[in-house]
Structure 1
Amino acid sequence: MSRCKQLRCWKLVLGSWLVGSAIGLAVSQTFASSDCAFAQITPDGTLPNNSRITPSGNSSIIEGGTSAGSNLFHSFEQFSVPTGSTAHFNNALDIQNIISRVTGKSISDIDGLIQANGTANLFLINPNGIVFGKNASLNIGGSFVATTANAIGFGNQGFFSATNPNTPELLTVNPSAFLFNQMSAASIQNNSVAPAGLDPTGAKTYGLRVPNGRSLLLIGGNINMDNGKLRAFGGRVELGGLAGSGTVGLNGNDNNLSLSFPDGISPSDVKLTNGAGVEVRADNGGTIAINARNLEILRGSALLAGIAQELGSSDSKAGNIEINALQAVDFKDGSLIFNVLTPGATGQAGDVNITTGSFVSDNSQLYTLTNGKGNAGNVTINARDSVSFISPENSGFNGILSSVRPGAFGNAGSIKITTGSLSVRNSSLLVASTNGVGNAGDVTINALDTVLFDGVGNPSFSSGAVIGVGPGATGNGGSINITTGSFVARNGALVGGDTSGSGDAGSVTINARDTVLFDGVGSNGFSSGVVSRVKPEAIGKEGSINITAGSLFVRNGAQLDTSTFVQFGNAGKITITARDNVLFDGVGSNTNNTSSSQAISRVNGVTGNGGSINITTGSLTVSNGGLLSVGNNGQGNAGSVTINARDNVLFDGVRSSNSFSSGISSSKESEGTGSAGSINITTGSLFVRNGAELIASTGGQGNAGSVTINARDTVSFDGVGSNGFPSGAFSQVGARATGKGGDINITTGSLSLTNGAQIGVDIRGQNNASSNVTINARDTVLFDGVGSNSLPSGVLNILGYGAIGKGGDTNITTGSLFVRNGAQILADTYGQGDAGNAIIHARDRISLDNARILLNSLGTGVGGNIKIQAGNLTLNNQGLISAETSSTQGGNITIGLQDILLMRQGSQISTNAGAARAEGDGGNITINSPLIVAVPREDSNISANAFTGRGGRVDITATGIFGIQPRSSPTLLSDITASSDFGVSGEVTIDTLDVDPSLGLVNLPTVPIDTEVAQGCYTGGAQAQSKFIITGRGGLPPNPKDVLTPDTAQIDWVSVKPSNNNRALPPVTTKPTTATPKRIVEATGAMLNAKGQIVLTANSSTVTPRTSRQNLIQCYGS
């Protein structure tokens, strides 16, 4: 007996003794590795025409079998192919399907070559299990199917079973299903790395391979690949199986086979590890499909599809990678899912579609790229529970990349994730970008519960979702659309994208049912947030940011940014809608980034318009350096900031690092044309405190923006920040600017400016039009106190030094106005222009207590005019109303009151001119009040004086004037003056109803009781009497028979000392008054005039009597 036959006999004996055992498998593999190896194939004799095995060298020639139409059936007791051996199916060329079953109890161990003739498809069925060793290989002309199913079905004709052998006479149709009736189907293991010829590009390839365009299917039990490879270039590789009983459908035609897994079955697990790979790349087609309970792709394993290098045409379309894992997909350790258009390729890359319970990508990459001419594919993940991307520290890229690479032509694909919760951490990324010629893709995320982007694992990049246009690229950025319950981006995570090429940046839209949080700065210095920017080297315009949520929190240096830095391009809009509240708070804590938490839309280039910021919410808080910023430093307008807050808005504090204020900034910063945007706030109550500011400014040729506040209840500005800046709202025009300032308009229930807070307009440029401050407060306006910076609370409307133009007006309409403790209403001019006007209407009262209303001109312009209408006006503790000028004409003051003007403790009303001891006429003062009251010795004054110019005019209409009187010049008493030190004095005119206080004592009538009042009827006895009472004046008792009571005040007369200077006495005029009252005559009769009116008469007239409907009143004398 030959040595080969002896070895074969030993192998058969040992194999029968140790069949099914691990020892038997090891021994079989030992013998199979000998130089003279044979396939271990034994027919089972169950077919009408049984299989025949003929050895030929190291090959086993398989012939015979039972034919049914184009199907050829083989049935074996065992079927294994040891290392170095060949199992050759010597079939007729017209056979389409070779179906081989193993009915014994041993697994099939394939570590050699399986070969067949022609283009027949080969099916290997072994319910005991199948192992492909590292040397296993295929040389067949059709598709290859390996399965551990119990049987294979043939439509309605029956099935070919390995566990219950049957006769296949009528099974003439193509196989249609795999039947599993085991509780746990056996597994299939593939470790093949055997040489497999050349791939379509001419490179060497390895593993189990079927001809190009054909299918390679493994149907378990579990499918395990440990460094093994499967190749079906341009064809289909499908992995899957069942963990229990059920049926898996088989579909296809002669060349292409695929599986169908019905709902309700229990799939098995699939695992690829240690560099295992599946590849289908070619010039067209190529699909990978995996159906599993759990799929693991580990330790550098890969799924590769797409158009191979330098292959394809415009009609080429790569197939997809389809993954269905009932429970989980674990994608880890540098593994790769890859469906790309490789360099030089032409066509359309395929998609990657994953459906599972949970998906985890850990330091792995999922690519759908185009490196050639054609579009990249899309990535779609549907994970019922969660999707997670995580990277170790300092690792490479982890996540999804759908991109147009440099030099490529085509569009990037889109990324769509639908899940319960999404987590992207430690520099993991979702990228749909373009770096070639073509558009970036979209990123769409739908997460029922949460979306989290967190942290920096690699200093080169942050976690995030990116839709950028790279340097040198041509194309537009895509869009990011996120819908979830709650959204978080923290520790440097970014959502959005920049454009550094030629194209527009994409837009970002976030819809969160509950909260959206952007928090902190990453270890690489990048701010968390949303960006849609155009970089300096780019050409294009910004995208927009749209956030809708229950609440939005932007904290600790996080940012929303749609700025542009290009020569030509517009900044994008930021739109926020939050049902409950919005918060911008704090600054970054990283030493490389101490930026404010902010929403920013700015133009930093040459030409373009800034974007707007629009916030609609319940409550808005911007604090600790938080900022809403729009601006433009080139040619173009800045955007506007619009806030609609149902409940309240709070701006509070300054940033700790560099003392920038919290608030809103709308600026036009350069010398280019264009205007700053407006600031518009509508809310229940507005609070601005601790140095926070609302600023609309211009430093160029354009106008500053306006500030408009509508608050249903309260507007409060309070305090000074740690940087010394007051809380306030301002419209500013810089020193070199030529635009006009914007208006400030406030409509509210109550307004307060306290502890140094200010609102106003500051013009320092060459302005030709005024800007106004308008306040409408239904109830009260309060300006109170001086700040820690020694600056007063109040309204400022200033034309600064060097400015050209007219100061703006200040208009206040309210119920009551209180200005106290050093507060001011100021509309001064220091430049070449007139001071603005102040118009104040107070339904009830105005009180100035140690406070001032100043509309002075300290430059070359005229002082402003002040017009006051109120119920009463109180000036106390050096309260001042002033329209003075330094060297020109003073402004005018007009006061109309319903009750009283009360001046106490050195208060002043002044339109003096020549405060710098220069020329200028005093302005005019007009006062109309029932009563004007001052204390003589408190030096409270009404003055329209001048230095070298003419004194102004003082016109007073009052019922009574007490404690203050006209004088030729100011004294230490309470005065009314219109004098001039070196010019012509002005005029004081006082109009009272019956008394001229300039005439001294009042002449009383000699008869105490005016007898002209006659008694018409006398009532006698105890009848009730009517009364007519005359109240005495100036210390007289009500009745001549009464005596003065001891507590009656006595008013002393004061003699004025003659003046020794040469100034002219201002003329004091009074309107003529009647010396004696007109005689009152008692009515004694009545008549009816021609109009049917009753007229009382002194003498009876002869009239025709007519019946009256009233009884005549009878008078009875004694």
Structure 2
Amino acid sequence: CSIERVISRVTGNNITSIDGILSVTGGNSPDFFLINPNGIVFGANAVLNVPGSFLASTAESIQFADGSEFSTTGTTLLSVTTPTGLGMGSNPGSITNAATFTPTGSPVPLGLLVGSGGTTETIGLVGGAVNLTGGALTALGGRVEVGAVGANQTVGLTSTTTGYELDYRSTNSFADISLSQGALLNSSGVGSGPIQLRGDRIAITEQAQILAATTGAVDGAAVTVTARQLDLTSQGAILSTTSGTGSGAEINLDLTESLTMTGVGFEQGINTFNAFLATGIVDLNNLVTTVSTFTTTSSGTAGKINLTAPVVNLQNGSSFGSTTFAAGNAGNVLMQASQQITANASLVFTGTSPIATGTGGDIILQTPTLQLQNGTVVGTSVFGTGQGGNIGIDSTTIELTDTRSTVSNLGLFSSLTNLPSRTLLGTTTFGRGRSGDIEINTQTFNLVDGSSIVSQTYGELIPNAGRGGQISITASESIVLEGTLADSALPSQFDASTSSTSAAGDLTITTQNLTIQNGAEITASTRSGGASGTITINASEHVILRNQGRLATNAVGTNTGAGGDITIAAGASLQLLDNAQITAITSQGNGGSLSLRAGDILLLRRGSLISTTAGQAGGSGNGGNITINAPVIAGYENSDIVANAFAGNGGNITITTQGIFGLAFRDQLTWGNDITASSQFGVNGTITVNEFSLDPSSGLVELVAVLSDASDQVDATCAATGDSEFIATGRGGIPPTPDMPRGGTIRPWQDIRKLDRFFDATVAPPSTVSASNPTIQEATGFQTLPDGQIALVAEPDHQFATHPHATCAMARHP
């Protein structure tokens, strides 16, 4: 009969140790199952000669579709159907693989190898714990399965076109997996086969690798790692490549706790990465700690990388990304962390090489807290003709910092720009392809210590480099840019500049409060013939530039390009303090235009500047226009608003305000606070001031439509007696007649007329009170005595009243 499956069980209490050839011959390329619940060890000399799939497990039984089991303790089955699961015992043993079999001409060890290069075989290890200590598992074009599970668990088995797929949906507890000492999981082939690791904590270290290389027209299958923790250290790597027309394998990392990657040092990591970008050659013996996909010599697209974990921690020269060296596109990178992403001196990237025509992949980071530190680069780069990838960030809090005491010119961007390495998030083109765009959504954004957000284009390497990308940043609460990089003058910055003949990108910021201070800047300038970009800022409350903080769309050097436009709308105030600047100035070309609006005040203090001056190097460019709209405009301590020119015409300044304080309109700059629009050799510009538009009805409270009748609200007390007369007994300082001046300023007011004609001022003498029979009388008034004391009296003395009041006269008697 035709043998399709060989099942070998080991009874007793001993582990199985194999350090030679394990063969299966005859039959119809049968699969081989080896089970020993006590443990299995493959030595360095172990070799498989198995034509079909091979599965080694420390399970206690193999389960079948009809409900039967093949157990290490039960009776022997005479015939079996396709296996459907593995049943682990109460104490599943571990599996160790140290097999390093390396055929002649192979660049890597193959170790335990199944099949002959077909695509229908699986090699799998399922144990209580699985350790590959220098050993290799290889299924060329087939499936590689490694699982570590806990006691009394069940692992499903599903027959597929590539052998057997392990199913962990009914598995509730897991054990650890370790790959070390150069261990290798390899499913490379015409189309790389699927690789699946499932465990609790998975460690890949000491140059151990997971490799899925596609070499032909078949798309590679996914590499999937599912665990609580995944740790990559000491040049551990997960790689997917394509050198054929088929797409490279995706890498999917699904973690319930954390991903931690630790490199071998920032310097070595960056140098290795630079060499890789320059040559496109992957040296498997000198890798950085990395999770990477790339395409080498064909039109195949590099695989995507998808990461899901609560915490992501990249440290000390580790890298995570995708690159293309050919016509194929680089893959996208997606990081989703439910708690935090931290990258310290590490690299998250997608890019295209100088010989590539494919496009770069996108980078998407989604997390509540994003921290990039100490030279970390999150970037997409273009060296070829394809467009660079985009970057999208969705986070509650974003911080870019650099606390290193010294910095060097290490790194991809540093070596090309001759600038020290810095913490950077950016899209950059050094080739003819267009730089990618950046879109950031957050609640708070802090950029300090010379860190940078950039979308730049460089023309030093290739003439006519592509244009810069767009930067869009939305922060619902605040954005703060502060400080410079250690040992350098490199500022913390948002930068959409160009150093080529192509245009710079545009930059848009939307927030509640924007602060730029201590040398930080936002710029979309040009350092060559390309046009500057534009800057648009919408702040619902304040925009504050302090202590050399700067906003600029300048065209500097020998560049003939024009300055870019800057538009700022601040709901409350726009403040420039301590040598702060907003400029769109040029050396040769026309100055850019500035449009500034503040809801309450535009304030300039201590040497601050607003300028669209053109032709500073003697050029003929015209000064740019400045439009300002603010209720109050104030400038003090040699602060200026300038739209001057050298040989061209001065710009026009249009101001709409209620009042200008401190600033004066002058024909030229002085040591005072100036508003000028002059030209040294051209026509002066104009300065126009418009009265701020006010709505007289603004703020009024609308009354009820029907007014009440006040006639019934007058107190009728005086009508109670006599002829109901009302007599005023005091004038409160009113002059006797309207045409007479008021008397001296007497406070409190006193009536100096004789009042005896108004009423009888005779006061009856008080009654004599018998000392022997005193009667307490209620006080009805008070008096101010000459010594200032207050006395309560039964009848007030009007001579000493401080505030006479209008009173009802005594009733007249017939």
1:575 matched to which residue of 2?
472
- Between the aligned partners of 1:106 and 1:360, the Cα distance in structure 2 is 32
2:774 matched to which residue of 1?
none
2:686 matched to which residue of 1?
808
Deviations 1:475-524, CA, capped at 9 Å, x for gaps: 22222111111112121111112212212222212111123334467444
- Between the aligned partners of 2:260 and 2:626, the Cα distance in structure 1 is 50
1:244 matched to which residue of 2?
151
* CA distance 1:667–1:539, shift in 2 (3 Å): same
Range with bigger deviation, 353-362 or 672-681: 672-681
Alignment counterpart, residue 371 of structure 1, candidates 212, 229, 243: 243
1:791 Cα deviation from its structure 2 partner: 0.6
- Between the aligned partners of 1:554 and 1:220, the Cα distance in structure 2 is 48
| Matched residue SS, 1:514 | strand
1:206 Cα deviation from its structure 2 partner: 4.5
Residues 190 and 225 in structure 1, CA contact (< 8 A), matched pair in contact too: yes
Taking the TM superposition and a 5 Å limit, the aligned residue runs for 1:20-419 are 94-116=2-24, 117-118=26-27, 119-156=29-66, 158-163=68-73, 165-166=74-75, 168=77, 171-180=79-88, 182-193=89-100, 206-207=111-112, 209-210=114-115, 212-213=117-118, 214-252=121-159, 256-267=163-174, 293-307=175-189, 312=190, 317-325=191-199, 327-341=200-214, 347-363=218-234, 364-393=236-265, 394-396=267-269, 397-405=288-296, 407-419=297-309
| Matched residue SS, 1:572 | coil
1:780 Cα deviation from its structure 2 partner: 5.6
| Matched residue SS, 1:468 | strand
* CA distance 1:495–1:785, shift in 2 (3 Å): same
1:734 matched to which residue of 2?
615
1:588 Cα deviation from its structure 2 partner: 1.3
Residues 323 and 360 in structure 2, CA contact (< 8 A), matched pair in contact too: yes
- Between the aligned partners of 2:162 and 2:437, the Cα distance in structure 1 is 50
1:516 maps to 2:399: yes
* Structure of higher RCO (CA pairs closer than 8 Å, 6+ residues apart): 2
Computed over aligned residues only, the root mean square deviation of the Cα atoms, in angstroms, reads 3.2
1:774 matched to which residue of 2?
654
| Matched residue SS, 2:41 | strand
Q: Which amino acid aligns with 1:730?
A: S
1:810 Cα deviation from its structure 2 partner: 3.8
1:547 matched to which residue of 2?
440
1:587 maps to 2:484: yes
| Matched residue SS, 2:600 | strand
Alignment counterpart, residue 583 of structure 2, candidates 695, 699, 723: 695
Deviations 1:533-589, CA, capped at 9 Å, x for gaps: 222xx2122222222211112212112221212343322222111111111211111
1:688 Cα deviation from its structure 2 partner: 0.5
Deviations 1:383-410, CA, capped at 9 Å, x for gaps: 22221221133544222221223x4433
Residues 210 and 231 in structure 1, CA contact (< 8 A), matched pair in contact too: no
1:323 Cα deviation from its structure 2 partner: 2.0
1:295 Cα deviation from its structure 2 partner: 1.8
| Matched residue SS, 2:230 | strand
Q: Report the structure, 1 or 2, having the larger strand content.
A: 1
Alignment counterpart, residue 319 of structure 2, candidates 418, 426, 429: 429
Deviations 1:976-1024, CA, capped at 9 Å, x for gaps: xxxxxxxxxxxxxxxxxxxxxxxxxxxxxxxxxxxxxxxxxxxxxxxx9
1:974 matched to which residue of 2?
none
- Between the aligned partners of 1:404 and 1:255, the Cα distance in structure 2 is 24
1:677 maps to 2:570: no
1:670 Cα deviation from its structure 2 partner: 7.0
1:797 matched to which residue of 2?
677
Alignment counterpart, residue 383 of structure 2, candidates 497, 500, 511: 500
1:38 matched to which residue of 2?
none
2:634 matched to which residue of 1?
752
Q: Number of aligned pairs?
A: 658
1:133 Cα deviation from its structure 2 partner: 3.8
1:783 Cα deviation from its structure 2 partner: 3.2
Residues 138 and 210 in structure 1, CA contact (< 8 A), matched pair in contact too: no
Structure 2 segments unaligned to the other structure (5+ residues): 270-287, 411-419, 697-734, 742-814
1:640 matched to which residue of 2?
534
- Between the aligned partners of 1:526 and 1:299, the Cα distance in structure 2 is 32
| Matched residue SS, 1:375 | coil
1:625 Cα deviation from its structure 2 partner: 1.4
1:610 matched to which residue of 2?
504
1:223 Cα deviation from its structure 2 partner: 2.9
2:780 matched to which residue of 1?
none
| Matched residue SS, 2:252 | strand
Residues 514 and 544 in structure 2, CA contact (< 8 A), matched pair in contact too: yes
1:1029 Cα deviation from its structure 2 partner: 9.4
Taking the TM superposition and a 5 Å limit, the aligned residue runs for 1:650-665 are 650-654=544-548, 662-665=549-552
1:211 Cα deviation from its structure 2 partner: 5.0
Residues 376 and 412 in structure 1, CA contact (< 8 A), matched pair in contact too: yes
1:758 Cα deviation from its structure 2 partner: 1.0
1:242 Cα deviation from its structure 2 partner: 3.5
Residues 142 and 192 in structure 2, CA contact (< 8 A), matched pair in contact too: no
- Between the aligned partners of 1:353 and 1:516, the Cα distance in structure 2 is 31
1:964 matched to which residue of 2?
none
Q: Which amino acid aligns with 1:439?
A: N
- Between the aligned partners of 2:59 and 2:643, the Cα distance in structure 1 is 85
Residues 140 and 211 in structure 1, CA contact (< 8 A), matched pair in contact too: no
- Between the aligned partners of 2:95 and 2:373, the Cα distance in structure 1 is 45
Structure 1 residue ranges (4+ consecutive) displaced by more than 6 angstroms after TM superposition? 201-204, 670-673, 1024-1030
| Matched residue SS, 1:798 | coil
Q: Which amino acid aligns with 1:531?
A: G
| Structure showing greater Rg | 1
Residues 615 and 648 in structure 2, CA contact (< 8 A), matched pair in contact too: no
1:757 Cα deviation from its structure 2 partner: 0.8
* CA distance 1:649–1:173, shift in 2 (3 Å): same
Taking the TM superposition and a 5 Å limit, the aligned residue runs for 1:482-493 are 482-493=365-376
Residues 781 and 814 in structure 1, CA contact (< 8 A), matched pair in contact too: no
Residues 498 and 533 in structure 1, CA contact (< 8 A), matched pair in contact too: yes
1:210 Cα deviation from its structure 2 partner: 4.9
1:283 matched to which residue of 2?
none
* CA distance 1:154–1:494, shift in 2 (3 Å): closer
1:298 Cα deviation from its structure 2 partner: 1.6
Residues 53 and 114 in structure 2, CA contact (< 8 A), matched pair in contact too: no
Deviations 1:1025-1080, CA, capped at 9 Å, x for gaps: 998899xxxxxxxxxxxxxxxxxxxxxxxxxxxxxxxxxxxxxxxxxxxxxxxxxx
